[in-house]
Chain A
């Protein structure tokens, strides 16, 4: 079946530095790529998404880039803050379902 690989599983960065999380997907027909943030004990929340007709999308300190040829997309967080600490999930649509990455635990060190 189709799958989405997400790396790294844990990422520790100094407050104020940038963080990058990468995902690779297998279904070449995938067109929708959302990123979700899940804080401890809370529900996942959509933070940004991108469609295949766009190469990059930004929202303040968050950006997502997509390379359809290589079938990978990345989440970039600049000027990280303590409230960015959470688990981040990527996903790709495939055959009327979302295939999820395993998640990245982002730790912001003070």
Chain B
């Protein structure tokens, strides 16, 4: 089985711009979660989608949003980028949810200048 894929792998944006990141889960996985990882901050949960529905959301501002398509692929969007949004954004897929094995993608490294 192919693993979780994320595109693009690297991205450089300017403050104020917006960005869309994509995640393709493992075939058959219906749950996709998104995380922000910064040095010293560990993994911060953004949101989780299951069957096109957002089931839970972490403590991030409304500039961070996401969606899931009928094929389980997911996108997350960050509007009005700030310098502090520079991070590695990881997505993880699971068969049914967060209480089961999650498989991470390689991440998208976002740099905001």
- What residues of chain A have their CB less than 8 Å away from a CB belonging to chain B? 1, 31-32, 34, 42-46, 49, 89, 91, 93, 95-103
Contact = CB atoms under 8 A, between A and B. Distances in A.
Contact of A96 (B40, B48, B107): B48
Contacts of B106: 42-43
A45 B105 CA distance: 10
**Chain A interface SS verdict (over half):** strand
Nearest to A30: B99
A44 B104 contact: yes
Contacts of A97: 33, 45, 48, 56, 58, 98
Given A1-B59, A89-B43, A103-B42, A45 B104 contact: yes
Interface residues on B, range: 20 to 34
A96 B59 contact: no
Contacts of A49: 101
Given A96-B56, A100-B45, 7 more contacts: A32-B99, A32-B100, A34-B101, A93-B98, A96-B48, A96-B98, A100-B43
